[in-house]
Amino acid sequence: MLAQVAIFIIGLVALVAGAELLVRGASRLALSFGISPLVIGLTIVAFGTSAPEMTVSVGAVLDGSTELAFGNAIGSNVFNVLGILGLAAIITPLSVHIQLIRQEAPILIGSAILLLVLSLDGSISGVDALVLSGLLVGYTVFLIVQSRAEPSKPAEQEAGPSSRGVQIAFVVGGLILLVGGAQALVSAAVHFARVFGVSEVIIGLTIVAVGTSLPEVAASVMAALKGERDIAVGNVIGSCVFNILGVVGFSGLAAAFMPGTAGLLVPAAVLNFDLWVMLAAFVACLPVFLSGREIARWEGVVFLGYYIAYAAYLVMQSQAHDALQAFSTTMLGFVIPLTIVTLVVSLFRRTPH
């Protein structure tokens, strides 16, 4: 147990240090290459911090656990939007770049709908996976070309090659620390859960999904604290797109080459519930983004509260808890409708007429 506590602490320190290096290097690289911090957040930071999801999901496929691979990506996305955006907004209100409203949010929702449609037959085939991964490559190229086409400020070209080399080293070093720290934390957390008798189902739906998202937590929170709000929000949105198109896509490609598999299996429970929760979380961002191009602290509290409620539901459902029915009735009949009304009223009050 003491060894696991030490691993947990080392992992936490690695996460904090890695987040600091990654955000510092990425923000300065953005200026150096004339690429906006938002695009850096949507690509380098987002894809880098999603490396644990990719590692866990592809590894699960190679071990024959294709359902875990799919569930990890979906669970991580729910946590990304509700948990990470909520926590970062509580720390400091997050400004929302107009590009996120007009372009990235629709792309994110469209990707979720596409994944839902492809999942209806119960699996992600090799062709489905090729479509998803191909869209990721096209999306990334489009973002970089779009950003480079925008007029850059003179100050953005001041950094020389040597300075760029240092910042690239910061980014790479930060990513290594983030991935290693996340793996250490997940390993220790799984050990603690088993010691205290938490079921394997709960470990997969909560600890693994949250644990593989810890780099996003560290990067977004650190970016928020340092005033890099475009990176904080862009990291979350970009990570969600990467999880759908990249993690599911590349895991599906790996499954297609595995003998005796029928593609990446989609668990029925995930198809009937968690996929819809993910899509609802994405759609819920729209009124928040539009209501003043800022995620306020109270909205962050709402997002984080909903993630806690989602995790509580999973725990109670897995254990067939007596309070499950009352909890579901309260959420569906009171809490969710009240939240929708509040967000709509906020949208009309904060939008200029």
User: Domain residues of the chain, as ranges?
Assistant: 2-350
Q: Does domain 2-350 have CATH number 1.20.1420.30?
A: yes
CA distance 254 to 332: 38
Which pLDDT score is estimated for 248?
93
Which pLDDT score is estimated for 132?
95
Region of 34 on the Ramachandran plot (φ > 0 left; ψ -120 to 50 alpha; else beta):
left
SS3 for 38-66 is: HHHHHHHHHHHHCHHHHHHHHHHHHCCCH
Task: Give the count of beta carbons closer than 10 Å to the beta carbon of residue 96.
Answer: 24
Please give the model's pTM, rounded to 2 decimal places.
0.77
Task: Give the count of beta carbons closer than 10 Å to the beta carbon of residue 150.
Answer: 10
Nearest of 285, 330, 311, 231 to residue 86 by alpha carbon: 285
The tens-digit pLDDT sequence of the chain (353 residues) is: 788 888 878 877 787 788 778 777 877 877 777 777 778 777 777 777 777 778 777 877 877 777 777 888 888 898 988 899 888 889 888 777 777 777 888 899 999 999 999 999 988 999 999 999 999 999 988 887 887 766 555 444 445 566 888 888 888 888 888 778 777 776 776 677 677 666 555 666 677 777 777 777 877 888 888 887 777 888 888 889 999 999 999 999 988 887 766 678 888 888 888 888 888 888 877 766 665 567 788 888 888 988 888 888 877 776 666 777 776 777 666 656 666 666 566 555 555 44
Angle at 64 between CA 60 and CA 68, to 5 degrees: 45
Please identify which residue in the block is written with the tokens 């510092």. Answer: 24
Secondary structure letter of residue 295 according to DSSP: E
Which pLDDT score is estimated for 211?
76
